[in-house]
Structure 1
Amino acid sequence: MAKPSGSTSIAVHETEREPFYRRLFARSGFGFAALDAEGRIIEANGTFLRSFGVTCLSALPPFPDCVSPRDSAVLAFAMRPSLAEQAPWELRLQRPDGGEFWVLASFVEPPALPGEPVAPALIVQITDVDERKRNALELAERESRWNHALESAGQGVWDHDFARGDLFYSRQWRAIRGLRPDEPIDSSLEGWLQSVHPDDRAHVLEEIRKQETGQTPFNVFCYRERHKDGRWVWIESRGAVVDYGPDGKPSRIAGTDTDITERKEAEERLAQMSRRLELALDVSRIGVFEVNLRTGDVRWDDRMIEMYGLTGEPDEGTWERALHPQDRRKATARVSDSLFQSQDFANEFRIIRGDGQIRHIRGRAAPYVDMTGVPHLIGANWDVTDDMRLREELQHAKDLAEARNAELEAARARIEYTALHDHLTGLPNRRFLDATIEAAAQEARRSGSRLAVLHIDLDRFKEINDTLGHLAGDQMLVHAAGVLNELKGPGDFVARIGGDEFVFLSTGSAGRNLAMLAEAIVSAMRKPVTFNGHICRFGASVGIASQSGEAIDAKQLLVNADLALYRAKNRGRSRHEFFTSDFQAQIIVNKQTADEILTGIEQQRFLPYYQPQFCARTLDVVGVETLARWDHPTRGILAPDAFLKIAEDLDCVAMIDRIVLEKSLADYAGWRALGLGIEKISVNVSSKRLHDPELARSLHTLAIRPKSLSFELLESIFLDDCDRIVLENLAEIRKLGIDIEIDDFGTGHASIVSLMKLSPRRLKIDRQLVKPVSRSPGQRKLVGTIVEIGRSLNIEVVAEGVETPAHVAIMRDLGCDILQGYALARPMPAEAIADFVRRQEWRQPGGGARDLQNEVRRAAGG
């Protein structure tokens, strides 16, 4: 029988049995509606229709459109089959006239009962809770206001009644500033401003002006004020106009002051934390997202957008569209279940990027409700594609273990493997090496066999890491591990012990050529490796130590190999060195020498020796070169080659130079007082000394007579490119009246352009060029060319290494200005200089020097 138009009863065909849900609709006091698979309302009872203020179904749109847009996101979860029969959902429904009302909505999939027609897709039951919900919201709002009022308690109160001239400040107001309750207050504006932070005074005056002129009836501002104990406290001042005078201006202003120092400090800490977090996220490449579950609005940061390969802004469906088809159901179900349970969750899935790449993503997210009651989901994603290979291997191992009912044993074995192996290269780690070498040492002691350790360090690895990144460095380490594995024999063991260092353990190596093995390692490591189109070249240095018999000490073997590696690196890298007993003795000697050098510095046992320099034309003494010597308590006077290298390792060469320079300046002052005619002293200056930013400052503390001192710079450090510190030091040296000389000229790399740029006072021709001039015309021609270069640039030329009379004559004839060498004088201590100059020994009979003098005079026409 047809249902009368406008009736709210449910039509029932007389030829069919009335379904159960229709009987329920008719007898229930709750609002019920039946929905088809598309969400359209196909039947409803009178209570349901009255809730919407309508009398027929045709007046209602599909049920999803009956829900307020603000709750559409919640409805999307509520109507899902997996969530439909859960607890009632709180929703806002919308009447045709636009009015909204709150309901509790439950969704049920009705079962198909035998003998009944096909049931609807979904049954929705609603209970009107609008008045209760609105009362609750109003109550919450009132409670919020009351909480704000309670929070204001305890704040410092002030009241400025200008009409009565009454200024009131509460106890809390005074306590904020460290004042006693009865302590007098300078209430004048000028007096009070002195306690306000200077940077805040202009701002405070402007805010006070706004209040007192009535421009802002209610005003809030923050500033810093000095506490009685001297520190600055942050004050938040809230003021309101209470009364107005006849002129319309405020006559009374009252308010509160709050100490917000902790809040300000917390804000600064939060800002710093936010900056660190942002930096950490940027470095780790973790992307962050947030979803408004009510509106569906989506926000992704730049790292998320880059991770997913997007070219535009994400929307509500971007994430699901990016999911790999095989992972979509599982990943979305994980999100749905966790949202329903309101708990944070982890998720793993694959995505197909915009460029077609398949990437493995791992994420964590958590739901939360903001202050307005809007549900949100916030979380982070990071790309773990590179980790999945290892994870899949672990999963495979776990599956095999479960299949064999040995899950615990497999997990323990895997943990032990991870603990004993390097995760990058797969090689054993230091822990595994320590156990293995100890066992190998015990076996070698028992069998009398030999045990060898090769300590390998990659050369130029840091440069590759710094220029091409850590991925390139990791690939180089993996390549190096592969090289060592290929060279490993049946009884060998290879481990990575950290960074770019490896250890190759060879057991039973009595018949093995360790030098050939080391050379094979060095040669293989030199071969280029390609990374992202770049050719990467690096090398390896190898230190070797071996022992046999009962004296084997595993830990000492590792130490000895490390020491041998240190020597290999010091001798030029990409080579191997053996640890020997002589090497060990040398280490002991070097250690003893290092201790003695430090003691010698403390005891001022470093002193200058001097080698006189002579005018090439007259053979008169014109200066001396200062040479560092060590007055060793047992070994006597030692030249620099006995201590300089160790002193450089100790980084104390500058201290020795300083001692020698100070003593030589004192000696020079004594010679001048004696009238010996020595006009200049010269001292050597190392490259490291020139790069010392404190050099100029230390020289300013010395009494240096202008033009009396020259600094000799090795040509090997005098290059075209000098850094800023060197150039600044050279400029300061010249300002002090110190001349610049180029030592060992002809053996370095200085160009004529850089020579002109520096304009030294003298060039010293290296003894290697001077020595062969007596027998080589070509060498004389080369030296003559250097002399001509000096003359053309107005630079004096000094010949050092003048060891024979022939050298003296030839270098004079070639035009050298000054001569220095054993033919004329050897280095001597300061106390011998005066006697040497007075006795004119180089001119005495029986010496080659006198013959030279006569030859010089004849050549000069006298």
Structure 2
Amino acid sequence: MRPKAATLPTPGAGGIEISCLDWPAAWLTADGIIRSLNDAMRGALGADASPGLNVATCFRDTDAAKLLLALSRLMDNEPSSIEVSTSKADQKHFIAGLSQANFNGSGDGAVLLQLTDITDLRRKLDEVTMRESRWNYALVGSTSGVWDQRSSGDYYYSDVWREIRGLGPDDAFPPTMEAWLELVHPQDRERVLHCIERQNAGDPDYSVFQYREMHKQGHYVWIECRGACVERDADGNPARIIGTDTDITARKQQEEWLEGLSRRLKLAIDISGIGIFETDFEAGTSEWDEGMRRIFEVENDCEVQIGGFWESKLHPEDRARTLAYVAGKIAEMKPFTDNYRIIARDGSTRYIRSNSLPFMDHDGRLKMIGVNWDVTEDQRLRQELEQQKTLAEARNAELERTRLEAEHSAMHDYLTGLPNRRYLEMKLEEWRDSKGELGTGIAVLHIDLDRFKQINDTLGHGAGDAMLTLAAKILRDNIRVTDFAARIGGDEFVVLIDHDGATPALATVASRIIAQMRQPAWYNGQECRFGASIGIAHSLTRDIDPKQLLQNADIALYKAKYLGRNRYEFYVPASRTLLADSNRLSSELLRALENDEIFPQYQLQFDARTRNVVGAECLARWRHPTRGILGPDKFLTIAEEYGVLAQIDGLILEKALIDQAAWRAEGIAPPKISVNVSARRLTDPDLARGLSDLDIKPGTVSFELLESVFLDRQDAAVMSNLDMLRRLAIDIEIDDFGTGHASIVGLLNLKPTTLKIDRQLIEHVPDSQEQRILVKSIIQIARSLGIKVTAEGVETEEHARILSRLGCDVLQGYGLARPKSFEDVTQMLRDKKSAQA
């Protein structure tokens, strides 16, 4: 329903008199004709503004159209405000307010126009916009990326900042300092942390520092970071830090090249025995290096003056000629060579050869630079030349060997000795240009080591390097001489194979590599297990871009990892859709954490003999806005890849504790709840502080560790966190036991409260004597170590009966209770309590 218009007297007839208003006001007809206006309005619009004039003609064409449109809509809408500008040379800017009124209730509509002058405000805003535009253009032109970090967690990274790292606008960046440090070159990490700390503290010596960071494409780029703390909180801690990052990779490469050139020049100078000098004729001095001082027998702290020492050393018979010759060449400003004699300190004559170059420096000062060397005993010159020839040939051979070694180093991985990415790209270009040893058809195998990072994190980089070396050997042993294997960075390898169209042969090679990679390896007495995922792309013609072929293999590799790792997959066009879906799902997962879409479901656990509820396992679920409830198999792999798995673990624990408190308030709480803990979270040095802030009742919570990530030797951080869990009376359980690699020694070191036998070992217990014996053995080992046993995957009553007879303590599975929401589990617990009452 349209609101009833206000009833106002006719202007000038005793109603609202606009003439007494201090601001511009006018009464208009519905189509914009001025009926009356006050002096302030006439001053705003100009002397031409008068009754009978259409007010729209006083404004710019575009604003006139907006005004007329607002008038036409005013009949059906609420009063409106628009910004308008006059069309005069001294342009003014206003906020025009329009409101409708009826006169005497007759329905004769009129519009009240009021103006608010915003000319000064508009000009100031335009100036601010212009200044901001200049700064933005300047920053873009400078190729510097801008970053802005706040303690509140708000971060800003400019497009140039992202381009430096190969990131697109939607690419995620590591969410934590620890995750970001993984991208920093290992040799720079400790220094970078120190520089950031000093920069945050306002130390001017650390306002600029340089480091290397991993580019999205896998190589390192040199970055020069400039930053400063611009805001601090009440305690003096940094609240806002702003700075710029500049890609200085090209500059660093140039510096490295110049450094190498300098080393070679120094080597040449040292070998040749020459002396170098630079003379400043205006200052009257000459700077001599060690070689010159040696030749002319000058003390190192002695200053060489023009017209003094050097002239006195000249042989009397050569002095006049030499001085005249040098003076003439300096006057001509041409380079010259000279031979002359000097008198040594012991009175002997020595022969000197010199090359000199007179020049004007940038200040217009006349200078000369040159080299001298001793060529004494001319009668032995032939012998000396022969010796020098021999030495020169040896030096050339050494330089050639050095060149070959440098070329080899530039094209090969320092650790494994395999060709590197650069060599791989050259090999692919040779293939495309029909050169090299590869045939017309080619297959690309992109290999990524599984569980390598866990070995690196737990046993150290030495173990990681040993596994990389072993992986390189396995690749060499499983390809032909004509094939090609390269390490392209980190734990990634690429193999090029002559391909004749027979994909089964490629599958055989991939299967053989995977099988050998899965064999246990040893480092310093510790067993290490890793695997490999392989993506395969192939072509029988050279009409495909080698980079596209590599990308296809990479996409196939992603599919292999997505489908469970330790497998190979061939590239098919549909794989691109899988990659796109995964990228989309990763972005949605990050938003899900922000939108509180991750929640726990609970699967009850039962005493094997009494069937009483003895616990509940918390299982992560995702309430996806379009796909419904998703299980962990749909998102935990992506969560681990993007470094948010530990965050999900913590979130599930916090929510489970809240639900547990609610159950406890009703008197229906299970004796214990168990939550999964990722390997990354166990290495978190802040885990103890985070858990101590939670209300965890002793003995009511247990942490489940996957046996597949359990090793017999953990680092100090892991062992410290495990000791802390015991002090907090949090039980430790080994999940999926029987499928991983834990040893009895490992169990003794870890001292878990419970082993959970994997469902794969439980599945065939009713119909397999061997399976029952295996489960019985696990239970007996656990009993001997004082460890309780839980069986997962209890699907039938027959499962439950046999497992109880074998000595299992706790049963869990769909045959007893499926995972359910908090509300459903609450009702089940209420029902059980009522039944026992």
Do these two structures clear the TM 0.5 threshold for a shared fold by scoring above it?
A: no
TM-score by length of 1: 0.42
TM-score by length of 2: 0.44
Larger of the two Rg values belongs to structure: 1
